[in-house]
Structure formats: structure tokens, C-alpha cells
Amino acid sequence: MDSPAPAPIRFETHPSRYRHWELATEGRLASLTLAVDESGGLRPGYALKLNSYDLGVDIELADAVERLRFEHPEVRCTVIRSAMDRVFCSGANIYMLASSSHGFKVNFCKFTNETRLAIEDASSLSGQRTLAALAGTCAGGGYELALAADEILLVDDGSSSVSLPEVPLLGVLPGTGGLTRLVDKRQVRRDRADVFSTRAEGIRGQRALDWGLVDGLAPRSRFEGRVRERAEALAESSPVPAPESGIELDPLGPEESEDRLRYRHVEVAFDRGERSAELTVRAPDEPFPATAEALRAAGGSLWHLRLARELDDALCRLRFNEAETGVILLRCAGDPDAVREADDRLRSLDSAWLARESRFRMARALRRLDQTARSFFAVGESGERFTGTLAELLLASDRSFLCDDLDSPAGVELTALNFGAYPMGNGLSRLETRFVGEPQRVEALRRGGAPGGVLPAAEALAAGLATFAPDDLDWDDELRLAIEERARFSPDALTGMEASLRFAGPETMETRIFGRLSAWQNWIFQRPNAMGERGALALYGKPRRPAFDWERT
């Protein structure tokens, strides 16, 4: 008898429903305390001991980071701490990882990486600093969480340490960017990083400080006072003025059925027989606020903000709940003129806190799309137009198809927001990345005006903004054949190919984290040394020792 399918994972939560974190604010300071409920795992079969975490813990963390930016923007520094005595966090739960499918492990690592990047994004763009207060041992993913903070303070008690024990204990890599942040962000010397990353017991006290693994030490008797002192200093250093109050993020509450997921501005329709789905994004259905006061009154219903949250939620569900859906058709619907008006007004109000944060939020959602292991085809039917913010969906796609209908061709219309408002992980706009070898094309599009007018399908093709522009007679056949062909290729090969092709241009810490993990961790999680019957990850916590294949490959 077949076992029942696992329940779909939901990514929306609220502080009132947290099981693992406690969020408290006090003026310009906030405290985010890790108090993991051992019995509160996302799935049965493991206990979250020693403040270890699973996806459910990180979903709450991602929610808290987002709510601090929108509901508590007055906060200038958040202290991440532990409620457990002498333990900060022991990292990702090993038994959860060992019992998870390969795809789940990879997507779990990707989600946790995106959450840590969101913490760093909050510091760099919103001025919300983070202090990791390690009043006890901090290992693996727990230290990777600390690495995302602006400062790390470690208790100096002779026993508390920081460590990345994945290589010596588990036969895998730190899954949340730990190695990259060591040498890129903290600029720890290579030889010291090598020693640190192969020493399972970690490094304590003065050596941790001398090697750049932490930023400060304090004895247990003075630790809390030192934490407060550093949090105040970080809050004072924030270069971004804080608004007096935030807005409420209302629930997304999508309608769910067997083959459809419907939000206010996003809809996903599944064709599981063809292993494909249509993701349609809708234009605003009411006028966009014209003043800063009206903007704040709109609050969480602001189109760019609400759309970003819906798109983000849909992408997370696709990753975890729809593993066999390989081709996603990105479509737009509604009045494109309303999109242009919304983009123009958002840009004109950029000095307003909520306008900036909404733009930053949309940028993060689009970067989630960039990192999603699915084939994205942008599809514009007769008369449809990818405008401004929605044109980013076309620019993010692996291919784009615009119907060159003689009477009513599909089209593309750029706005000012397409020229840098939504940077990719490589720091460039999607236009700059698309034309990395032809920067004159970007300048020509920019000089054409922003907005630069509507480019119908044939002109969009000539301008390099579309991959194909079939006429209306060939449209159905060409699109159908493209989808069928894509669905027949190896999903593994497509994931590697797409990840290799999407990020032309310069490398950044973000692209290195995802690029290295997409290749190395994906491969290592499959290898017998980690996941075989006698692999290190499979035997963790058991009396048998792992048996390695000693060949280097």
C-alpha cells in the first residue's frame, strides 16, 4: 500500500503562530530569540535538539526578518540570541537532513541561503543592523546564521566555541554560504579558514577573535551588558533614517484547489500531465497612490509590495511542493498602462520609506525567481504587453515568446524601473546582464526614453528583448513544441545548464554562494561518502563509523 503524500508546505506565518522564535521590540532595538520546540519539526521522525533547525524554523525566521522591515522599521539593530543555556544553535538538524529526499535538501539549503541574504539586505539597504549574541556553543548552520549578522559577539567562558563541522563530521559542506562568507565577507585568511573548517570542535575565545571568526568577546558576567552596548552602537551607526512607524502585512490567503493557486495578483495553474504550469501576474486593478500620504494609507495592499509577496510565496510552493513541474510559463494580464502608471509613481515617490522598501521587496522576489530550478518561458499572447516591473519577468526568463499577430501583436514596454531598480544577485540589472557583451544596446534603450514606448513583437525581437516572435498562424504549434521538447530533457542537466547561463557578468558573494552550492553541494549530497549506507551523514549519531571511497574526483 502506497504511503500518503506529504502535506504541502506552507510558507506564510505570523509571530502569533511562531513555535521556535520570539520577536520583541524596544524602540530602535529588537530581540529575536531562538527557542526551538524540540517536538515542533515540520515532519515527524526527528527531534530538534540543541536549538537545531529545520525548514519550519527558517520559515519563521524569514517572516521575522520581513516583519522587522515593514512592521517595525524604527528598529535599527536586532540582536539574535538563544533562549537555551550555553547553546546558541547547533545548526541544521542532521536527522532531518539524513531522512530527506535529495531535492528537499538542496531546496532547504537554497531557502536558508536566501533568508541569510535577506538579513544582509536589510542591513545594507534599510539600515537594520544585526548583532549575533553567542552566549554558548555555535555550530554549523548556527554559525552560518551568525555570519549573516553585521557583528558577532562570543561569550568568553573557556568552553563556548564557533565551528563549521560539516566536512569532518558529515562528509558534506556548510550548506548556507559559510565557507564563502568566511573568506569573502569576513576575509579570514585561507589557511586559517582551512584549519577552522576541518576542526570539528571549533575554535574558542581569543583565537576566534584573532582569526576574525568573531568581532568581540566578553566574560559571562559582563556579556549582556556588552551585547546592549554593541547593539546601541550598531543602531547609532545606521545610515538610513528610520520612519516612526511601519505598516501591517496582511495575510496572503490564496485560494487553493487541486490544480490552481490563486492570489490577488498572481495565479498558478498546473498541468501535471505535461509537467508544466502557467504563472500569471496581473496588473494593478485600481489607481496607484499619487502621494506619500496615500502610499502609506495603502499599506500592505500596495501593488508592488503585495505582488512581490505573492510571487515569492508561489515560487517557494513550486520549489517544495511541485518537484516534477519543470516548465513554468510566465504570463501577464490586465491593463499594461496601469503597470506603467504604477511604476512611474513608485519611482517619483522613491524618497518615501514604503516606496523604497516595496521596490527592495520586489527585487528580492525576482532574485528568488532567478535562483529557482525551473525552466521559465515568458509568453505574450496577441495584444498582451510585458510592461515595466512585469517586463522583469520576461528578462528573467530562459526564453521568451511574443505573438506577432498582424492586427494585435504582443509587446514589451520598458519603464525607468527596468534600468537598475531590481538588481540581480550579480549587482547588474537584468537588461545589463542580458546584454553584457553589448552595453550599447542598454544605452540605446535608455536613450529611447523611459518609458520608451511600446515595442511590438517584431521590434522587440530586433531589439533583443524576445527570443522568438512567431506569427499568429504558427504560434500554437511553436509554443507547444517548445514546451514538449523542454519537458523531455533531463531535469538535472537543465538545472545545471540554467544556473550556468543566468548570471553573466561579475561575480559577487551572492552568486558565488549559489553557484558553488548548486554544483558542489548538489553533487556531494548524492555521493556514497555522505549518503551511502555507510556514508557520514547517514550514520551520524550511530555507533558505526563511516566508510569512505578514497578516490579524489
Average pLDDT over residues 494-509: 91
CATH number for the domain running over 255-497: 3.90.226.10
- Which of 80-84, 393-397, 437-441 comes out lowest in average pLDDT? 437-441
pLDDT, average across residues 308-313: 98
More confident residue, 6 or 132: 132
Grade residue 4 by pLDDT with cuts at 50, 70 and 90. Answer: low
In which band, very low, low, confident or very high, does the pLDDT at 3 lie, cut at 50, 70 and 90?
A: low
Instruction: Give yes or no for residue 104 having a pLDDT over 90.
Output: yes
**What whole-number distance in Å separates Cα of residue 214 and Cα of residue 466?**
48
Q: How many CB atoms lie within 10 A of CB 542?
A: 9
pLDDT at 451 over 50: no
213-240 pLDDT, tens digit per residue, is 999 999 999 999 999 999 999 999 999 8
Give the predicted TM-score (pTM) of the model: 0.95
CATH top-level class of 15-237: alpha beta
Which residue type, as a one-letter code, is found at position 256?
E
DSSP assigned state of 288:
P
Residues 6+ apart with CB under 8 A from 299: 247, 248, 250, 354
Q: Domain ranges in the chain?
A: 15-237, 255-497
With CA atoms as reference, report the closest residue to 432 among 520, 498, 504.
Answer: 504
What the block records as the C-alpha cell of 190 is: 585561507
Polymer length in residues for the chain = 553
pLDDT at res. 516:
76
Q: Which residue from 39, 176, 44 is spatially nearest to 99, judged by alpha carbons?
A: 44
Q: 39 pLDDT exceeds 90?
A: yes
- Tell which wins on pLDDT, 157 or 492: 157
Q: What is the 3-state secondary structure (H, E, C) of 155-218?
A: ECCCCCEEECCHHHHHCCCCCCCHHHHHHHHCCCCHHHHHHHCCCCCCEEHHHHHHCCCCCEEE
Over residues 63-86, the mean pLDDT reads 97
Instruction: Name the CA dihedral angle for 537, 538, 539, 540, rounded to a multiple of 10 degrees.
Output: 40
- Amino acid identity for residue 339 in this structure: V
Q: Residue 71: its pLDDT value, please?
A: 97
**pLDDT tens for each residue of 334-349:** 999 999 999 999 999 9
Q: How far apart are CA 75 and CA 32, in angstroms?
A: 12
Q: 84: Cβ–Cβ under 8 A, 6 or more apart, which residues?
A: 34, 35, 36, 50, 51, 136
Residue with the bigger pLDDT between 496 and 69: it is 69
The answer to whether the beta carbons of residues 81 and 131 sit under 8 Å apart is: no
Is 15-237's fold the same as 255-497's?
Answer: yes
Reported confidence tier of residue 1, pLDDT bands at 50, 70, 90: very low
Is the pLDDT assigned to residue 450 strictly greater than 60? Answer: no
Per-residue pLDDT at 452? 56
| CA distances to 109, 279, 381, 485 from 326, in Å | 20, 13, 21, 12
Lowest mean pLDDT among 168-172, 342-346, 417-421: 168-172
For the ranges 39-53, 135-149, 198-212, 501-515, the lowest mean pLDDT is seen at 501-515
